Amino acid sequence: MQSTSIYTIGYGNRKIETFTSILYQYNITTVVDVRSKPHSRYQPAYNKSAFSKHLNESGISYLFKGDALGGRPSNELLYSNGVLNYGLVEMTKQYRDALVDLVTLTSYGERVCLLCAELDENSCHRKRLVGASLYKMGISVIHIDKAGQLKPHINDNPILDMFTF
């Protein structure tokens, strides 16, 4: 059994209070924002500054890592025909260093949860890229689904298996 776990969650259309109660339910101590652009015009409570303040007031740490772990990096060389190439992303130092940072947080006893906007983890880079990378590193990845239930990570992207850490 893997001893280190990292959770993921999407806020979607959840009210901030519902979102926070889910984090409490699973004893999450640190939320790591993996949105490339931590802004929502539909859910302003999730804009970086307001969201960070809300979490801190709720006793949960906030850490932004969207620059390294986001699904829309600014580096045009990481795209193939306009589509983000996960294999190329995985090979960047910035990405790998950010993964190590996540694992380091868990080694200090933090219960880490990756955050993105997409409610369905199957449609989001937090599962398809970051979760898959962590899984390959031997980290247990647990997705909090749209119903607030836990789902273990299943690597359903065999292309990423070609790249190792």
- Residue 1 pLDDT > 50, yes or no? no
Which tens digit of pLDDT belongs to each residue from 116-130? 999 999 999 999 999
Question: Per this entry, what is the length of the chain?
Answer: 165
**Per-residue confidence (pLDDT) for residue 158, from 0 to 100:** 54
Could you give phi then psi for residue 118, rounded to 5 degrees? -65, 120
In one letter, which amino acid is 18?
A: T
**How much is the pTM?**
0.91
**Per-residue confidence (pLDDT) for residue 8, from 0 to 100:** 98
- Which pair of tokens denotes residue 83? 């589509």
Contacts of 147 (CB under 8 A, 6+ apart): none
- Residue 13 pLDDT > 80, yes or no? yes
Which tens digit of pLDDT belongs to each residue from 58-113? 999 999 999 999 999 999 999 999 999 999 999 999 999 999 999 999 999 999 99
- Using alpha carbons, select from 95, 108, 107 the residue that is nearest to residue 4: 107
For the chain, which residues make up each domain, given as ranges?
A: 5-162
CA 102 to chain centre: 10
Q: Does domain 5-162 have CATH number 1.10.3080.10?
A: no
Which tens digit of pLDDT belongs to each residue from 28-71? 999 999 999 999 999 999 999 999 999 999 999 999 999 999 99
**How far is Cα 129 from Cα 86, in angstroms, rounded to an integer?**
6
- Which pair of tokens denotes residue 101? 């940072």
**How far is Cα 23 from Cα 30, in angstroms, rounded to an integer?**
9
In one letter, which amino acid is 63?
A: L
